[in-house]
Chain A
Amino acid sequence: MDYEMQSRRLAEIAAKLLEDETVEAVLGLRNNPEAGWPTPYCARTPQDAERLVWNEACYTNLAFYLTEMRGKTAIVAKPCDVRSIINLISENQLDRDNFIIIGIECEGKRKDGKPAPGCDACPSSIPGFWDIAIGADGSDTWCDLPMAQTGENVTQWAKKSTVEERFDRFLKEINQCILCYACRQACQGCYCVSCFMDRKATPWEQIDADTGSKIAFHLTRAMHLAGRCTDCGACEKVCSSGVNLKYIYKGLSEFVEETYGFKAGVNPEATPVMNRYEADDPQVAFLGGDCIVGI
């Protein structure tokens, strides 16, 4: 990986785009000494482009910010960002023609000295879609780097574990959680105007963070991410209490892929998996139905 070359190339492209006004803004990351890691930055003039930076700590998922942008925008997008963008397109939250994707190759970011959450299971260093390409070496061709792929296979773990072990792991994470909703704010899939936890109309849960409410929140969020989670790891990256519930969402993604052959963030035209059915879907959940593991 040559972050130097990538940063320089990125700055050139951004400046050029802003100069000939093909875009009104370039969405990327800049160094932020106070925060201690690169934070999202919106360059609007060629000079601003200089401040765009690209290094191993640029793990923030910029897709969600794209939904906030008004005019034509260019976005610096690594593979997990692109997966999130595709997911948002298929849910009519983004319009493909009013943004340009500056695809940038990524072999996995690092946070606190170890691979950033999600990067350990990233399938490929090449983004699924791009308009302008920045390879690993800064050139416009992809180097297709070998990926670590050391991510945990949740289904395998679940098959070997007992109910108690699974419940204990889940409860350990739940007990650490303080219900600050950071994970919800960072997630590309959570763009509801008012989250079910806050809605007065349907008081699903009280306000205090008792176990029941926290379980209800995380389980429901997992259900809402079924077939939509792009495993970008943002939820775990931002969690101040170090909660890792991503394994639940990953377990569901594995299940959806195994049972319905659908992977999130791959094809923008595909109807989301939970919004369609086949007459002969497996009766996995049913009393006496054909039972797949765990169900």
Chain B
Amino acid sequence: MDSARSALRLGCDVTVVYRRSKEQMPANSWEVEEAEEEGVKFLYLTSQLEVLSENGRLTGLRCCKNKLGEPDASGRRSPEAIPDSEFIVEADNIIVAIGQKVERGIESAGFRVFHSRGLIEAKDAKTEMEGVFAGGDAQFGPATMIEAIAAGNRAAKAIINYLENRNDSVEPFLLPQTDLSQVDTDGFSFTSRAKMPVIDMERRRNSFDEVELGYDEETAKAEARRCVDCSVCCECLACETACKAGAVSHKQGDQYLEIPVSAIVMSPGYDLADRIPPELGYEKYEDVVTSMEYERILSASGPYGGHVQRPSDGREPKKIAFIQCVGSRDDQCEADYCSSVCCMYSVKEAQITKEHLPSVEEIHIYYMDMRAYGKDFDRYIKSGEDKYGIKFIRSRAGGVERLENGMLRLYSTRPDGMKTEEDYDIVVLATGFQSNPETEAMLGRAGVKTDRYGFVHCDEFGAPETSVKGIFACGAASGPKDIPETVAEASAAASAAAQIANQEALSEEDFIKFFDPDEEVPLRDVSNEPIRMGVFICRCGVNIGGYVDVPDVCDYIRTLPFVVHVEDSLYTCSVDAQKNMMDLIAKHRLNRVVVASCTPRTHEPLFQSVLKKTGLNPYLFNMSNIRDQCSWVHMDDKQAATRKAKELVRMAVGKGLLAVALQRKKIPVEHSALILGGGAAGMSAALAIADMGYRAILAEKSDCLGGNALALNDTYSGRPIQRYLQKLIDKVMENERIDVHLNTTVGKLEGFVGNFKTTLVSENVLTPVNHGVVIVATGAHEAQPAEYLHGKNPKVITQLALDRLLQKGDASIQNLKNVVMIQCVGSREAERMYCSRVCCNQAMRNAAALRRINPELNISVLYREMRTYGMQELNYRNERQNGVCFVTYDLEHKPTVREITLNGTNGLQVSVFSEAAGSEVVFDADLVVLAASMEADREANKITAQLLKIPQTQDGFFLEAHAKLRPVDFATEGVYLCGLAHSPKNLKESMVQGKSAAGRAATVISKDFIETEGTIAKVDGNLCTACGTCETICPYGAVEVQDVPVRGGTVKRAVVNEALCKGCGTCSANCRCGAADVGGFADRQIVNEIEYLMRK
């Protein structure tokens, strides 16, 4: 093709004679077409017979026509001449495109490598002869240059294999073919490839200019957009070559590891419910979003950068509706449990909407029961209502329809049956929990029993244990729950696993495998050495080197005093650079080190460990961030970035010079725990501590163990609680690692984490005990109501009293006809502005128990919100189906209880305004049961709070370190919290919190000593005027004004407790006299940083 088209360009008339058909031509089809376009004539199925000439000058070629016969050895159909089809082609010149033949000359030199068809025989470039390799046309016949080069590569690899006797594959790394059918191609419209613009035919025929002009930018981009991006990684291996540290390897595949363990904790989480009733229009309308999608809309890192807008048209919404219980409490999609968390997150999202978008006018929440059962949840809802103006509408959402004007019309029915409709900009569906199918399969394989929803089944008293010994489940795997309960269950699972691990001693080599203690290098004392500082300026490849002139910075820093060595390193954090740093420290006898590279938040510990390995105190180290806070954020101004880098490093040198060796003291730890309170939570904690191998001291102020649980009758399913409780009490009494002190309170309690010294007081007998931690499980009590004739009429009792009667099978409850239960008595109003959480399910439990005694008994429950969260919802549904009548009331129309005499016997009558009936409803009752509220032992807690320096909430319970993430810890280290002292909760949750507190306590008492932080506060006694500022403001109670012995008496000075101090420095900043200072961030160091920046 090349010679034909070149001849044409030189002005000739060109004809190509070819004996086979066009399809069989080996030339590239597009070259043939282009030749035809340019006017080259083609005679297919034509063979040459004879060259014609006149007086020595060529005149033409005699040819004949062919037809295709049977395929020959190479598989191509061979041409056969058609008789008397000869004709003459006139021509001045004839160019013969002859094939090629292999040069066999080397055979004479003894190379027996040729096979029958005259080509060299070679497999993977190796011939039969040892050490003789072959490739290219000689081996596979005439082919393109590309194939020849590839053959060369293959031969080279084969030779390497031969020389180093390896057998790596010689084949090049071929791209995996991606099957287009698997590729997600929706969103792509199928268009053909753009036509390549070419020069005009005239120029094409008469010049050798390049024919194809290439795409313009517009077409090129359009072509690029056609790329279906079928496999994200196109395996161009650029990453492998780019990573100078050789850390990227493309050959890594999945590996199966088998790890022998003594216990497994399953926390696989949950899926967001996807069973959304179609009439809510989720798929149909863009502006109907799930709560998770709405969370992303609110989030600053979300699709709209936190700007709240309608997905459809980007307009800012004026009215938003939340629909609760989507995919929960809904037996059509067999998820008739409650997902426990949707009410609270809807209110949270509503409040955040108001904060992000003050212009939003109305936010409505459509709900059946607002289940704000957790600690301070009711206050959160109240502030949502009062401060943020969120409207709560008790009504069942029916359907959503989009109107022409783009608004969404929401149809709903009120409890009294009234149908309403209202238009909104956005409708948010509060979807709940569902189990994950793969998790269910995995649990099944492990033999773990799951309930009919796919959640792990935990025994009511045994959580977090599952049906298989040694496997524990925590979090949403065992049913829908909120974050505080999840975190508590996690620590409980950890302590349960630790209990098993404690029974099987860990073998020495296993211990080393998991905890390889690096050998301690003695730290040399540098206090009397002259300051010799080493500065390591990192390039981090191009991340810094590309934008900051590192050599220039190095030269500048070399001019600073006390700097004896400056190292310009490519990757200071790489292993060999660390080794190099250790050598330099030794070589230059450095005693201060500064590294200028990335953020100390990630790399300071790494470099500090390098210092430690060379015997240098790790706090003689300082870092300067010239990547994340310099090169990466000043990429467009290299000159300014370099100047800033110089100043940042100069400041780091200024601070580093004054670095002082700080010690991390080791404080011995008592391997025992003092547990205050012998209720269900306290006992669970004690047993967990004992089974983990530590001593537990259980102090109970009453004369018996059991606490509030002693009153409880049985679970909803009828399992007697007392039998289990008694077994628990016996286990505690018999366990020799637990010493129980009844009728005991705490007299004096001193010390701090790891080293508490307490005097227990029992009938004025003082017993001193030492322990490492304190677990507060002091419980709470039922508040005796003063309303609804309670205390005046014996037929008005509390739920707990009913529990006791049921337990004893008391005669007074045998032949009852009408029972009325009133919920929220004393809770969620006036001075107890919180939900007591247990009374709704307690009412269900006791209603079921009463029905077991007398199935014809009719029971009515008057309630404000039915807060049977989680799986308790099934109890509520069950009671409704068994004829229990439920009537709602609100705070303004509270029920009234009156004494009446009915045909001779005096009974009670309860009347309440029912919203559903729209009028007053009256019930006769021969027993009225009040759901009294659960109240904190406010006074007793006050004393404990002072003893342990722990805070209380405004309701008198104790205030934990973090409501969601550290529910059983206190801010003060070494003190933990569980049970009703934290806030109202049911028996199962109290026991889980007990085990959880034990798990958290074990993080301290499992150690022989705790290490204090290095960078903590210290007070210079000579400067301190004992004004008490530091003691007042320290959140950890880590500094106190004490009488310090001085020559001839004592003087008041502030003293820091190194075990408690976290090094925040607030005390130092408020200390006018400059007595308090912080190691590592000392006043002198920070002042020096300012001076090194401003003055030098």
> A residues within 8 Å of B by Cβ?
91-93, 191-194, 196, 199, 201-204, 224, 271-272, 274-276
Contacts and interface: CB of A to CB of B under 8 A. Distances in A.
Interface in B473-520: none
B1022 interface: yes
B1072 interface: yes
A49 to B, nearest CB: 31
Given A92-B1041, A92-B1052, A201-B1074, A191 B1025 contact: yes
A275 B1023 contact: no
Given A92-B1028, A93-B1027, A193-B1022, A224 B1072 contact: yes
A193 B1032 contact: no
Contact of A91 (B1024, B1028, B1033): B1028
A202 B1075 CA distance: 11
B1083 A202 contact: yes
A92 B1029 CA distance: 10
A97 B1028 CA distance: 19
Given A202-B1087, A203-B1087, A274-B1070, A192 B1025 contact: yes
B1084 A202 contact: yes
B338 interface: no
- 5 closest A-B pairs by CB: A192-B1073, A91-B1027, A275-B1032, A224-B1072, A202-B1083
Contacts of A191: 1025
Given A192-B1023, A192-B1073, A196-B1072, 19 more contacts: A91-B1029, A92-B1028, A192-B1072, A193-B1025, A194-B1023, A194-B1073, A199-B1074, A201-B1020, A201-B1074, A201-B1084, A202-B1074, A203-B1087, A271-B1032, A272-B1029, A272-B1032, A274-B1070, A275-B1029, A275-B1032, A276-B1033
B1026 interface: yes
Secondary structure dominating the interface of B:
loop
A288 to B, nearest CB: 14
B1022 A275 contact: no
B1072 A204 contact: no
A224 B1084 CA distance: 19
Nearest to B1032: A275
B1074 A196 contact: yes
B1074 A92 contact: no
B1032 A276 contact: yes
B1025 A93 contact: yes
* Candidate in A192, A194, A203 with the most chain B CB atoms within 10 angstroms: A192
A68 to B, nearest CB: 13
A92 B1022 CA distance: 17
Contacts of A271: 1032
Interface string B990-1027: 00000000000000000000000000000010111111
A275 B1035 CA distance: 12
Given A192-B1073, A199-B1074, A275-B1070, A204 B1087 contact: yes
B1033, B1072, B1073, B1074: most-surrounded residue (chain A CB, <10 A): B1072
Contacts of B1087: 202-204
A201 B1068 CA distance: 14
17 contacts: A192-B1025, A192-B1073, A193-B1022, A193-B1024, A194-B1073, A196-B1072, A196-B1074, A199-B1074, A201-B1020, A201-B1084, A202-B1087, A203-B1087, A204-B1087, A274-B1029, A275-B1029, A275-B1070, A276-B1032
Interface string B939-973: 00000000000000000000000000000000000
A283 B888 CA distance: 44
Interface in B1037-1051: 1041
A92 B1028 CA distance: 7
Nearest to B1073: A192
A276 B1033 CA distance: 7
B1076 to A, nearest CB: 12
Nearest to A191: B1025
A224 to B, nearest CB: 5
A191 B1024 CA distance: 10
A275 B1033 contact: yes
Contacts of B1083: 201-202
A192 B1029 CA distance: 13
B1082 to A, nearest CB: 8
A275 B1039 CA distance: 14
Contacts of A91: 1027-1029
A191 B1023 CA distance: 11
Nearest to A201: B1084
A276 B1070 CA distance: 11
Nearest to B1091: A203
B1045 to A, nearest CB: 19
A216 B236 CA distance: 62
Contacts of A203: 1087
A92 B1073 CA distance: 14
A264 B873 CA distance: 58
Nearest to B1087: A202
Contacts of A92: 1026-1028, 1041, 1052
Contacts of B1026: 92
B379 to A, nearest CB: 14
B1073 A193 contact: yes
A287 B1025 CA distance: 36
Contacts of A276: 1032-1033
A254 B1084 CA distance: 33
A131 B214 CA distance: 103
A276 B1034 CA distance: 10
Among B1022, B1026, B1033, the one with the most A-chain Cβ atoms within 10 Å of its Cβ is: B1033
A274 B1070 CA distance: 8
B1081 to A, nearest CB: 13
Nearest to A274: B1070
Nearest to B1030: A275
Nearest to A225: B1072
Contacts of B1072: 192, 196, 224
From A191, A202, A272, residue with most partner B Cβ within 10 Å? A202
Nearest to A224: B1072
Nearest to A221: B1072
A192 B1026 CA distance: 10
Nearest to B1022: A193
B670 to A, nearest CB: 34
A272 B1070 CA distance: 11
Contacts of B1084: 201-202
Interface in B161-206: none
A52 to B, nearest CB: 30
A201 B1027 CA distance: 21
B1029 A193 contact: no
A239 to B, nearest CB: 21
A201 B1018 CA distance: 14
The interface centre, meaning the residue of A193, A196, A203, A276 with most chain B CB atoms within 10 A of its CB, is A193
Contacts of B1022: 193
Nearest to A196: B1074
Contacts of B1028: 91-92
Contacts of B1025: 93, 191-193
A203 B1095 CA distance: 14
- Among B1022, B1028, B1087, max chain A CB count under 10 A is at B1028
Nearest to A203: B1087
Nearest to A223: B1072
A57 B800 CA distance: 76
A98 to B, nearest CB: 14
Nearest to A277: B1033
A49 B371 CA distance: 76
A184 B1087 CA distance: 23
Contacts of A204: 1087
A201 B1022 CA distance: 12
A194 B1083 CA distance: 15
Contacts of A199: 1023, 1074
B1027 to A, nearest CB: 4
Contacts of B1029: 91, 272, 274-275
B820 to A, nearest CB: 43
A90 to B, nearest CB: 9
